[in-house]
Chains A and B, each alone.
Chain A
Amino acid sequence: MSTFWQRFLGNPRVLLGLAWLALVLVIAVFAPLLAPNDPFEIVTDPFLRPFGEYLFGTDSLGRSMWAGLAHGARTTLIIASVATLASVAFGTVLGALAGFFGGLIDDVLMRLTEFFQTIPSFIFAIVLVAILAPSATSLIVAIAVVSWPPIARVVRGEVLSVKSREFVQAAVLAGQADLAILFKQVLPNTLSPLIVTGSLLVATAILIESALSFLGLGAPNLMSWGFMVGAGRSFLRDAWWLVTIPGIAILLTVLSINLVGEGLNDALNPRLADL
């Protein structure tokens, strides 16, 4: 049986995904060096075509598209990863408590989860951002609030199956406290599905963030890919690159995350990989 890393890195789809993600990450981290201008600064004439003096051309106000893409990568990645971390943390605690204690706690928490799944999540996110006033923090809160239910369900299911295993019973006999058993014995054994679901959640978070920014509900003063598409849509007829290029950036990034996430899943569950 090959090791996890052999299975994971031997998958060409994973390598492609990782390569693009690494590129985006480097651009995001070094954005101030690679594109020293403020992305909102007007640098030259508007509507310059791409691949000329400016790598990706300029937008309707004469702002550099390259600067927008580089700084937008920062905004998008930061918001998506923080929101995912928050929803994973919240969903894990909720799912773990529900699965571990069962009974009334389980009933109440699972009703709550189902309730949140009934509300159309994107409309809910729009309302949350509007109520909290658009900012990076409210985007993060809105994305996290609508994304935690699947995590809670996955963790609950895993906890339910792990908690009846022998090593948990041994821990009970050894006199460990409930919460110590939950956090030290049970949860570490639910990590692999959690990592897969969490990594795929980053992709969803990017899609929600860019859709909100596209609708004009993004963080003001922060350049993002969705905002660039939204700003360029009025000029679709004359300047196709304003919409096309940032959209491709979103598409490739989300695609790469999905490829890596599925690669993780296949590598962690080799028996299911052929399905």
Chain B
Amino acid sequence: MTGTRLLRYLVRRLLQAIPVILGVTVLCFLMLQLAPGDMAEVLAGESGGASPGYIEELRARYGLDQPVLVQLGVYIKNVLALDLGFSFRHNANVTELLLERMLPTLLLMGSTLLLSVGLGALSGLFAAIWVHTWKDHLISLTAIVAYATPLFWVGLMLILVFSVWLDWFPTSGMENVVMFYEGWDRVVDIAHHLVLPAITLALFYMALYARLMRATMLEQRGLDYVTTARAKGLTERQINFRHVLRNALLPVVTVAGVQVGALLGGSVVVESVFAWPGLGQLAFEALFSRDYNLLLGIFFLSACLVVVVNLITDLIYVLLDPRIAMGS
């Protein structure tokens, strides 16, 4: 695979993604028009009530008195120029606000992804190697329980055990702001705060990938190429780790890519439980303060994120399985 082909493929995929992202943006824009109340009412309500004339004036100033389609047109035009508007609640530019809050969420999602794919695939692999023994049953049982546990409850239970009772980890937040840590100390502090939220979010997906991995490993081991490898005299260890593992990872990678959207939804809950200052919490605040510009911006960003992750998933796919031609 040459560099130019890779580049051409990337550009084509990104171009294909534009209609999807715009579609999500338009749909969300129209949906939010149906929501009760607008920011003029909220602003007026917060300043302790205002005359109808003042509310009209506010609407005119923010362009809210225009027909919906005109507002939509203006919004889309701005989005294409990557200007996501102004958040009146935070008194800041939406793009800047999103960039600032994106890092904590990406940190949480990234570590969750590593943790869940890594540990999930590993436990699925070992469950398949030890199939029908007590170790397999133990792994499968743990997975099926973890698969059924509500996220928010896992978070609260982890806080109860590891923060309240054992006092190993902090209960909430992303860093200890009063300590003014810098450099390496700050990294350690953030990592310390990250442990419980990441485990909470990862547990469900770990279970999902473990079960998937176990099933595909068992399926792959019945195939002809395994028989061939065995006939060549390879050890079971070589077969499992060099041949079967690679093939069994493919479905896990696919599902992990598909699940990134869901991961974003899960991070709303986890961020609320652990007061993690990320996009999910921002979305939640925006919704309740009727800060629709900000909310739309978050939707736009999530759609972009999902598209980018799908692209990365496809690239990993090609690396894992050279038979899959790029762009076909």
Contacts and interface: CB of A to CB of B under 8 A. Distances in A.
A122 B156 contact: no
Contact of B164 (A128, A130, A214, A236): A236
Instruction: Specify which of A119, A229, A275 lies most central, judged by the most chain B CB atoms within 10 Å of its CB.
Output: A119
Given A236-B164, A244-B157, A214 B269 contact: yes
A123 interface: yes
A115 B23 contact: yes
B156 A236 contact: yes
Contacts of B152: 210-211, 214, 226, 229-230
Contact of B156 (A120, A125, A211, A247): A247
A115 B149 contact: no
B56 interface: no
B173 interface: no
Contact of B272 (A210, A215, A243, A259): A215
Nearest to A258: B148
Given A122-B265, A211-B269, A243 B36 contact: no
A49 interface: no
A251 interface: yes
Contact of A251 (B150, B264, B298): B150
Contact of B306 (A120, A122, A229, A243): A120
A258 B150 contact: no
B148 A251 contact: yes
A131 B284 CA distance: 13
Interface size class of B (residues with CB under 8 A): 35 or more
Interface string A43-87: 000000000000000000000000000000000000000000000
Interface stretch (B27-35, B43-51, B179-187, B194-202): B27-35
A131 B35 contact: yes
A121 interface: yes
B147 A258 contact: yes
Interface in A123-142: 123-128, 130-131, 133
Contact of A120 (B32, B157, B164, B302): B302
Interface of A is mostly: helix
A221 interface: no
Nearest to A131: B35
B225 interface: no
B70 interface: no
Given A131-B34, A236-B160, A122 B150 contact: no
Interface of B is mostly: helix
Nearest to B35: A131
A49 B24 CA distance: 49
A233 interface: yes
Contact of A233 (B35, B145, B156): B156
Nearest to A206: B150
Interface in A170-213: 203, 207, 210-211
A236 B23 CA distance: 43
A255 interface: yes
A123 B151 contact: no
A3 interface: no
Contacts of A259: 144
A154 interface: no
A222 interface: no
Given A118-B24, A243-B156, A275-B219, A123 B302 contact: yes
A258 B147 CA distance: 9
Interface string A226-254: 10011001001100100110010011001
A240 B160 contact: yes
Contacts of B273: 233
B129 to A, nearest CB: 15
Contacts of A250: 150, 153
A135 to B, nearest CB: 13
Contacts of B306: 118, 120
B148 A123 contact: no
Contacts of B264: 120, 122-123
Contacts of B280: 123
B85 interface: no
A207 B150 contact: yes
Contacts of A124: 265
A115 B215 contact: no
Interface in B111-153: 144-145, 147-153
B32 to A, nearest CB: 7
Contacts of A126: 268, 283-284, 287
B159 interface: yes
A121 B263 CA distance: 10
Nearest to B288: A130
Contacts of B151: 211
A72 to B, nearest CB: 13
A119 B301 CA distance: 11
B266 interface: yes
B159 A247 contact: no
Given A236-B159, A275-B219, 13 more contacts: A117-B258, A121-B262, A122-B265, A123-B283, A127-B32, A130-B287, A214-B152, A214-B269, A229-B152, A233-B156, A251-B153, A255-B144, A255-B148
Closest 10 CB pairs of A and B: A122-B265, A247-B153, A255-B148, A254-B148, A120-B261, A131-B35, A120-B264, A120-B265, A214-B152, A243-B156
